[in-house]
């Protein structure tokens, strides 16, 4: 996967998270979780964009690490939302969780490669 493809995939993921968050009910816990998942679910695309303009290998690794942390946070937030809102069988949330897992794997491999070249 090249840089542009990964960037597009991250943008698509961010858009998916925003749309799913906007569909959550408007109660206290859902409002809190929807705000949280929008922040963490959109951050990887933004951090990846910053990583592409990194000033050094160390800076690249740092920005990619932040994106990975945000993806992991998003995955946990998806799990909390699915359980608390009874959405375990909702295919859209399940697909978002699967995509998040795949993105985590891509970032883990990318960071391993970057660190081995450092």
CA 15 to mean position of chain CA atoms: 11
- pLDDT tens per residue, range 50-66: 999 999 999 999 999 99
Cα atoms found within 13 Å of the Cα of residue 1, Cβ hemisphere only: 15
* CA nearest to 48, candidates 29, 22, 32, 70: 70
Which stretches does DSSP call E strand in 4-89? none
What is the signed CA dihedral for 26, 9, 73, 35, rounded to 10 degrees?
-20
Counting the structural domains of the chain, the total is 1
pTM: 0.94
Task: Report pLDDT digits (tens) over 3-32.
Answer: 999 999 999 999 999 999 999 999 999 999
Range of the structural domain that residue 84 is part of:
3-116
**CATH code of the domain in which 47 resides:** 1.20.1440.60
- For the chain, how far is it from start to end, CA to CA, in angstroms? 21
């Amino acid at each position: 996967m090249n840089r542009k493809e990964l960037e597009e995939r991250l943008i698509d993921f961010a858009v998916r998270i925003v749309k799913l968050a906007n569909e959550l009910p408007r109660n206290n816990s859902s409002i809190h979780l929807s705000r949280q998942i929008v922040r963490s679910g959109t951050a990887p695309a933004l951090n990846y964009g910053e990583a592409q303009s990194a000033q050094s290998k160390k800076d690249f690794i740092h920005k990619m690490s932040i994106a990975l942390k945000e993806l992991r946070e998003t995955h946990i937030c998806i799990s909390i939302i699915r359980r608390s809102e009874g959405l375990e069988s909702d295919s859209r949330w399940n697909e978002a969780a699967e995509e998040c897992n795949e993105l985590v794997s891509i970032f883990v491999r990318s960071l391993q490669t970057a660190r081995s070249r450092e």
